[in-house]
Structure 1
Amino acid sequence: MDELRPEITERAMRLGSDESLAAIVARPVVETGLPAVVILNTGVAHRVGHHRKFVALSRRLARSGHTVVRFDFPGLGDSSDITGDGALLDANLAAIRDVVDWVERTFAIRRFVMVGLCSGADQSIIYASKDKRVTGAVLLDPSVPRTRRYYMIDLYRRIISRSIWINFLSGRGFFWTRMRRLTGKGEMTAVKRGQFSRPNLESPEAIAFLEGVYQGAIDNDARLLAVFTAGPDYQHNYREQILEALPKVRFGKRISLHFLKDCDHTFMRESKREYLYALIADWLQSQFPGREPAAPVPGPESTMESVEF
């Protein structure tokens, strides 16, 4: 575990109406009045994040004056199993609201910034469209429809790729795998990257849904930081893709875009994680610079438990 400095505290909590959500709350010792940061799970990953990046990020942001909550969605990590037969997304959105409500009630913080990678980014923007207390969202590789420009860049990348030509001439790679499947000589399971299981983000229904949630977040006065990496190159491959893919959204100056073409999806390299931490911290400082004194608030009301941070 990283060495904690004395200017922040970090506690393991049980949150929610039935205390079913396992969470870690990192806070500055001195109240600052800055927005709280809520970090969401990535897929089925534990709240620490890949390579423990959410642990390091939460401590860094806490030292900058933010109250930061990392928690596990129902059924993940140390949180209790999901109950009922409702949709998973609805259960997760309800869990986010439980956490936001608890932070507001406990620390008198009324502004929030969501942080998420991949599915966590998607759920961040969906929740931001539903709760006006969310004043910002950090979206790491969110789902974005592919565009005409995307396909042009992808085609050029394939044309100049030596490995793709070697695979093509030797009868390997996605093209020949697909041809064998179409002619009944191959198995669909051989297709890489789940090509036949990804949702169709280019459908009119998907685009309309995404435009609705992004515009909803903008209408709620939320500011967005969107960071794209080269990892999911099957889904996005240039910086402005989200703007061209969702043309009806009036982003204006409320979105900051970054494309890290030499970074993988999970930020495996420590140098890339450090760059990400600095990028998020700088963006938060630029968007929420005030450090107004907050009113005294009571301590956490939920029980503590011994869990791995």
Structure 2
Amino acid sequence: MDTLKISATANGLNYLPEYVADQGGLFAERGLAVSAVARDPWTGVVDDIESREADLALGGLWVPAMYAGTPRKLSVVGQLNHMFPMTIVARNETSPISLDWLAGKVVLAPGAGGSAPYEFTAGLIREAGFDVSKTRFVRDLSTAMLIELYQGGLGDAIILDLVSAEELVAAGGGTIVFRHLQSGGVMPNSVYYCVSERVDELGDRIERFMDGIAAAMTKITSHEADAEIEAVLAARWPDKDKALLRRAVDEMAEGGVWDSAVVDRDASDRWMTILFDGGLTTHTPSLEELLGARAAVDA
């Protein structure tokens, strides 16, 4: 049995296919013993793959994008999220909004776990032809802190993952008025990446690992993984409302989050443009550049 070590930016419900693949023996069927750890702070994933404490990092595509063209060489080897499963909860609005509604508002955008909640939302605002500067964003703080501040009266709206949003709504904190799954288009949110110099060394294990991920995605989206999902939810989130978690899983499955383990070229190019326009990258990396040493293998 070969080993593969994952360093993840979170213990996230959107990472479900990895957990299901492990729970259901899909990695073991492919001769892999996979171990994973969630890092806090999440930036530890970069240190882990550099030190070889881990083989692969799991996190946002924006991280390899930001490092593109720098001395740190990272290669994307597969995709875990094909869409961006976030929402906007509004304090006083109850009807679905278009993004021009955000003008003149104070919007809380958690950022301690990464930049995507703000950056992708800001990119959608620019794509729609609206002015991002007309919205005052509160950024760079943790989800837990911003939820507490929102409940204390700060802000008109808050950007949240599906589970946190549903919990906030259930607590009387407002209404989900925008769903990125419905209005955001394809977005390669979470990916696996490694130090580029290790691609050849890890190649066979990566192939088997990503095949297991793809198989788990198929099981989830075809409703053949119910037992594995229930076991994962009970083990990883024992204190959460199981019905709420299951609704979030169903919404992500139906919304396309787990439709593909392969990064979509057009979606990657679009995300790179959003990041460049936001000032996070020195250029707009092509998919080939993001794949790096992996590009030849995929070709």
TM-score past 0.5 threshold: no
Structure 1 length-normalised TM: 0.30
Higher relative contact order, structure no. (Cα contacts within 8 Å, ≥ 6 residues apart): 2
Which has the larger Rg? 1
TM-score (norm 2): 0.31
